[in-house]
Amino acid sequence: PPLAVFDHWKGYSRFLDSAGTPAYLSDQLCCIDEHCAERLRSMYPECDPIIVGHPHLEQCRTLARRDGSSCRVLVVSQPENRDGTFRSVFSEDWQGRTILQSLADHLPRTVHGRPVEIYFRPHPKETGNAELPPSMRVDPCADWSEALLAYDVFLGRDSMPLIEAAKVPLVAPMTGA
């Protein structure tokens, strides 16, 4: 029988066809946790999801972040799919500027005496290039597993990488404001 793994907490409608019928629902469906299982059951009464956890999130707990002289901030982008453009959600206009520009202007220049370096990681499905403020650079990490360990702070909207980043323990907890 067909098997599917639902490995995040959004996109529950992906099993529906254009008529709203659950045409893509597998015979067996695995999911992360009870919250996800309950949501699936409420949307698809015929579904009996199997809770299997999320091995990648569990692996993230065993990793260790860098301990550097600067505070490295990564803006984790994702595509805007509500309007079909697939441009960065940070390219949206807010008070006459992009969200990315406003964010760069409002981040502190130092954190506990450490200079702040700001990087931007576009999502692979994004179209176009977000216009980066002068204080921001494109993330040079080749893949996400490398980026996960290269930064101290992760900013984003509601993407799975933010959950993954939250699972990686800090080398030394930061205290103060």
State the pLDDT at residue 75. 92
**What confidence tens digit (pLDDT) does each residue in 60-86 have?**
555 555 667 888 889 999 888 778 788
Any idea which residue has 């993230």 for tokens? 60
State the pLDDT at residue 173. 39
Average pLDDT, the chain: 82
% of the chain surpassing 70 pLDDT: 87
State the pLDDT at residue 65. 59
* Confidence band, pLDDT 50/70/90 cuts, at residue 119: very high
Does the pLDDT at position 170 exceed 90? no
Does the pLDDT at position 43 exceed 50? yes
